[in-house]
A and B are shown apart, each in its own frame.
Chain A
């Protein structure tokens, strides 16, 4: 086996690498390609035969999801919850991460370890009590209820991410500033925050993306149409016996647009966050 592998010349080995990449790339693009093309197909074409390119391209599916299926309302709800959650979580987590990486106080080690443990608690364990808490607080079908539920995992996750990031920033400038008479909070504001912008952007992207992509809490905590999230709205295009394929694919394209745009704009931050080991996979 070893000898066989070594007998393959370098050129052939590269060809094998390219074939592997091409195959996996095909597997990635296959569903995305059909999602994108089907969104522009007329109903007859979707169900009757296979076409690789829409024969009579139409915007009918997009018109339907916007005017008949209330997708704009679901998008608005999701945007409100995602932005509010992101803002609150980033502020809370930045303060906590700064304290845990820079300030010495008893209990700090336990807190830091606790952050990781909390982050790894299974979601299914939290589902039932979270549902009851939100119902008891009369926050079912409210933005606040969804924000709270999403915060529960975003705060530990974001704190963990930022702790890793802050640990990588040298503390010398802060020390110099404090010798010059700057207060702790002053250094946090004037020195640490400007230096941490890439870390904060990374954290914000991950939290926003996480809320945008969240499905289970959205399904359970916002059953009323007026507060429905896009994840649940889209999954309703699948009824137990059939799919509304065209509108669903059009809706999917719309729903993933913000995520893709954000990703293209901030790819290097996302890769940085990936290296920090902060993502589920």
Chain B
């Protein structure tokens, strides 16, 4: 089965060379070994990707057959939607805020953990918990903590006499947005911290000594030695995390569901609401496609970092 699906070797620079039998044998084996994974990727990612683009040009709805070709109507609908500008601004702001805070808190924690002390490894293990635990559990627990009626935060604030009546944190637009960012940061910064920490440990102590001799203080050493040493790692982490944060569907869906009154309705959530709540598949499919140019730029950024890394090795 795998053999039938073997694509012919793509023409590349190597074709100029006369193909020896060992060489073709190796190429055939190469494609054979890649075939199962490639089939999965073509069938389960490539094809759906193309399908998503096609569906976005139709008025397809759940339970109503394949739908008619409507050209750019879905895109016009989304772009012409009165709240579109707000939604874009909201998604951009929330992504930038979350990524910025994850970077800052991650750097602070990495610097703190980079000190020598006993129990450091156990601490590192504990700090990884948010990132290892299932997102849906974390998000639902925070949602309960911030709940206006039964939430623990309100109980604590009341018992300490700080508030007299419960605050509906998630029913107020600004606090809902702030807390959504808080949960994203809570879940994400340990990953930053531990990658930064791994990066810091590759910076040689000699550089720090040399900077000290040159009269650099604590902040000077951080700015002139640590940050440049982390540039590569930080570049990849920030770009990747921007892509993931911008596309996060699960956290806003479970934490606020887009509410109160659309205050936390971000781009990926719109897809979900249009397609799987209102059954408007065509319009739902068009939403993430509108995001593709931005994502493509970020992906190219990641790829260029990765290429640089590969060529350095």
Contacts and interface: CB of A to CB of B under 8 A. Distances in A.
Interface in A111-142: 111, 113-118, 120-133
A260 B243 CA distance: 27
Given A31-B145, A260-B133, A279-B131, A128 B271 contact: yes
A231 B136 contact: yes
Contacts of B284: 128
B146 to A, nearest CB: 10
Interface string B22-54: 010011011111101110110011111101100
Contact of B195 (A31, A92, A104, A274): A274
B14 A129 contact: no
- Most chain-A Cβ atoms within 10 A of its Cβ — which of B45, B268, B298? B45
Given A21-B109, A49-B159, A270-B128, A100 B140 contact: no
Q: Is the interface of A mostly helix, strand, loop or mixed?
A: helix
Closest 5 CB pairs of A and B: A281-B191, A129-B48, A6-B217, A105-B30, A96-B37
Contact of B26 (A18, A104, A148): A104
A161 B250 CA distance: 24
A281 B238 CA distance: 10
A121 B49 contact: yes
Nearest to A168: B313
A58 interface: no
Interface of B: 7, 9-12, 14-15, 23, 26-27, 29-34, 36-38, 40-41, 44-49, 51-52, 55, 102, 105, 108-109, 111-113, 115, 117, 123-138, 140-145, 147, 149-150, 152, 155-156, 158-159, 186-192, 194-195, 198, 217-220, 236-237, 240-241, 243-244, 246-247, 249-250, 253-254, 267-268, 271-272, 275-276, 281, 284-285, 287-289, 291-292, 295, 298-299, 302-303, 306, 313
B249 A120 contact: no
A245 B144 contact: yes
B135 A213 contact: yes
Interface of A: 1-3, 5-6, 8, 13-14, 17-18, 20-21, 24-25, 27-32, 34-35, 38, 46-47, 49-50, 91-93, 95-96, 98-100, 103-111, 113-118, 120-133, 148-149, 151-153, 155-156, 159, 167, 184-185, 209, 212-213, 215-216, 220, 231, 234-235, 237-238, 242-243, 245, 248-249, 252, 255-256, 259-260, 263-264, 267, 270-271, 274-275, 277, 279-281
A121 B296 CA distance: 9
A95 B141 contact: no
Q: Is the interface of B mostly helix, strand, loop or mixed?
A: helix
Contacts of B303: 113, 116-117
A136 B130 CA distance: 37
B105 A24 contact: yes
Contacts of A264: 125
Given A96-B36, A107-B12, A128-B52, A271 B194 contact: yes
A164 B138 CA distance: 30
B292 to A, nearest CB: 7
Nearest to B105: A24
Nearest to A91: B36
Given A92-B37, A95-B37, A103-B29, A156 B145 contact: no
A86 to B, nearest CB: 14
